[in-house]
Amino acid sequence: MRSRVFTTLVVLTLGFCSQTNARVINLRQETANNETVTTEADVVDNLAQTALDNLSLYLEEQEGSLSERSGYENSRCTLRNISVRREWGTLSRTERKAYSDAVLCLLSKPSRSDPVLVPGARNRYDDFVAVHINQTLSIHGTANFLSWHRYYTWAFEQALRNECGYRGYQPYWNWGKYASNPESSPIFDGSAYSMSGNGAYVPGRNNTLIGGGAISIPPGNGGGCLTSGPFKGMVTNLGPVSPAIEGIKPNPQRNGLGYNPRCVKRDVGNYVSRRWTRTIDIAELILLHNNLKSFQERMQGDFPNGFLGVHSAGHFTIAGDPGGDFFASPGDPAFWLHHGMIDRVWWIWQNLDLRNRIETIAGTITINNRPPSRNGTLDDTINLGVIAPTDIKLRDLMSTTSGPFCYIYL
pLDDT in tens, 212-266: 999 999 999 999 999 999 999 999 999 999 998 889 999 999 999 999 999 999 9
Phi, psi of 145 (to 5 degrees): -50, -55
* Cα distances (Å, whole numbers) of residue 383 to 131, 155, 157, 387: 9, 11, 17, 9
131's enclosing H/E stretch is helix 124-135
Q: Determine the pLDDT at residue 350.
A: 98
Chain centroid offset of residue 163 CA: 22
Which pairing describes strands 199-201 and 223-226: parallel, antiparallel, or unpaired?
Answer: antiparallel
What is the predicted pLDDT for the residue at 61?
Answer: 78
- At 24, the pLDDT band (50, 70, 90 cuts) reads very low
Average pLDDT, the chain: 89
Exposed / middle / buried, residue 55 (Cβ in 10 Å: 0-12, 13-18, 19+): buried
* One-character DSSP codes across 282-314: HHHHHHS--SHHHHHHHHH-BGGGTB-HHHHHH
Mean of pLDDT values over 358-377: 97
Kindly report the pTM of this predicted structure: 0.91
pLDDT over 90, % of the chain: 81
Tell me the mean pLDDT in the region 37-61. 80
How far, CA to CA in Å, does 342 sit from each of 243, 272, 285, 319? 22, 16, 11, 17
Task: Return all residues near 88 (Cβ < 8 A) that are at least 6 apart.
Answer: 96, 171, 172, 173, 186, 187, 195, 337
> What's the full length of the chain, in residues?
410
C-beta neighbour count of 353 within 10 angstroms: 17
Specify the 3-state DSSP secondary structure of 38.
Answer: strand
* Predicted pLDDT at 14: 36
pLDDT at 30 over 80: no
Gyration radius of the chain over CA positions: 20
* Interatomic CA distance for residues 190 and 375, integer angstroms: 44
Whether 352 contacts 286, CB under 8 Å: yes
CA distance 197 to 13: 39
pLDDT at residue 32 above 90?
A: no
- Alpha-carbon 40 to chain mean position: 25
- Give CA angle at 67 (65, 73), nearest 5°: 110
Of residues 389 and 271, the one with the higher pLDDT is 271
State yes or no: cis peptide before 371, omega within 30 of 0: yes
Residue 116, pLDDT > 60, answer yes
- Answer yes or no: is pLDDT of 68 > 60: no
Predicted confidence at residue 72, as pLDDT, reads 58
Phi/psi-derived region of residue 166, left when phi > 0, alpha when psi is between -120 and 50, beta in every other case: beta
For the chain, report the end-to-end CA distance as a whole number of angstroms: 39
CA distances from 258 to 83, 250, 386 (A): 37, 10, 17
Q: CB-based contacts of 303: which residues, under 8 Å, 6+ apart? A: 210, 211, 212, 214, 215, 312
Q: Is the pLDDT of residue 371 over 90?
A: yes
Alpha helix locations (H) across 231-380?
Answer: 273-276, 279-287, 292-300, 309-318, 334-351, 354-357
List the one residue out of 334, 359, 349, 317 whose CA is nearest residue 236: 334
